[in-house]
Structure 1
């Protein structure tokens, strides 16, 4: 689908599929779309870190966004950060309500993740992260792994800066006790990794078979084959899958008027929905 009058910044602001809806930012506008119905809902936001969630109790879609900027707190980190919880839709489009919540100061380093379609409106504390994860910061990938929050950390590309063939999978086992487990995996082949995000292969989640998906963050050169890699943690095997019809023909580039570098985002386990906001 094409979203009219929207130009998305290259390199991010795309979030996971939530009950058939996908959200993204163009800096000042939050966009929620349903690829199955073509519905697009937009509303202004004050930060690029807005993310979409779903309240299963009230059967409502909600967005969490910053009201105050992280830069407002750089000189006074003891101040609280203010957020808005925005309740969406109800079938007629538009917003239903806005409410405010506060949290201690923090600086987001990764794209937000909604697990099981649920977003918490009370930000009371933070989960302590292993120091090995913090070293990588923006170079790590938050994913859902078997229903739990996990972090994929490449382990040998900090030295080479060009590729990796090993990674650690940190899994949050107990959210209350802040307990994490770590599994280390050796890939049967090297995947490209560069500190420039446009030249990187990252994990953006898992499929229903439990395979960890590694995908490029940008399309290959014009009319070149487009590949995605699936790693099975149980069998330690990797399969390479070519996605036909995406970027691999000159007709694709011409039809969409694409030139230069084009960023790519995946929404693993997306389900079709005929719902309307």
Structure 2
């Protein structure tokens, strides 16, 4: 057998590697102070640094530290013949520091992203899906959703019991069987989601079909949210708008009734307000009504409202502000109409 000679450059790299000359505690302390993008680069620097960074304890420590230093995630979209989607992730404390990360998506694919979960986001364009970290600019593709359906809802979340990330997808399609014998169309409220499937992120990831005992249809155009091991999304159940929940550990569904409020039944979107599942909508009087879920088991809701400030443009005219969402810090986002 021919003996393979070790290159001098490889020997020099090992000798000059600072991680081999420092104690693990000191290395961890140094790594904990680095921004996410630097951590991502050091993962490929050496075996020593990679083993520390990929260790579950270090990941948990770094995640805990990162949650105390939230970041803004800005999405820009330019339409036209060539679509473009640009993400920028920057510190809330120092929004213009050198740690700002920009990432440009594929020019021919327009992803619709779920709200961030523990620093990761999930994007979908019909059956094509990606998951990534906007703070580092690293994204990976998931297997395509197994469906030919037209209306798809996807929700991204984290299973704390098994320490894994999962994506839930539901699909529905209008077809000939939705026409009655006398030729009249079946009510849209009678149509339910036909497929429920889950994928667990990992080395051998693939979509799995699961059963749901509640015949419901997810509301098109509404986004789901994640909170404490559960996914939440709005759906039509027994011809009424309801709140669906999905336990990421047991992979079981549950349904919660909404208050008997006409506006709530027609409008509103899910948000995480002050750590609670909330349905928010902007009423005709400009106020933002917040229906907060206080107890899911007892179906107890409370109602608050927020009066947005008046905005004056460059010409001294008053402009209405439109509610756009809520940050993790509890701050509300408004944009000029």
- The gaps in structure 2 that reach 5 residues or longer are 1-102, 179-185, 232-246, 313-319
Unaligned 5+ segments in structure 1 are 158-163, 192-198, 218-277
Out of 218, 223, 226, which is 1:114 matched to?
A: 226
Relative distance call for 1:40 and 1:113 in structure 2 (3 A) is same
Q: Where do residues 85-164 of structure 1 align in structure 2 (5 Å cutoff)?
A: 85-89=198-202, 92=203, 95=205, 98-102=208-212, 103-109=214-220, 110-116=222-228, 118-119=230-231, 120-121=247-248, 122-130=251-259, 131-137=261-267, 140-156=268-284, 164=286
Write 1 or 2 for the structure with the bigger share of helix: 2
Instruction: Judge which range, 168-177 or 122-131, deviates more.
Output: 122-131
Cα drift, residue 86 of structure 1: 0.7
Aligned length: 194
Q: Is 1:177 paired with 2:272?
A: no
Aligned 8 A contact 1:85 1:100 in 2: yes
Deviations 1:100-124 (A, max 9, x none): 1324122314111112354424444
Q: Aligned equivalents of 2:217 and 2:133: distance in 1?
A: 31
- Rg bigger for which structure? 2
SS in 2 for 1:114: strand
Quote the Cα distance in structure 1 between the aligned partners of 2:224 and 2:336: 19
State the TM-score, normalizing by the size of structure 1: 0.59
Tell me the TM-score normalised to structure 2 length.
0.50
Aligned CA distance change for structure 1 residues 82 and 183 (closer, same or farther; 3 Å): same
Higher relative CO (Cα under 8 Å, sequence separation at least 6) belongs to 1
SS in 2 for 1:126: strand
| Residue aligning to 1:213 | 333
The answer for the alignment partner of 1:252 in structure 2 is: none
Cα 1:212/1:153, change in 2 over 3 Å: same
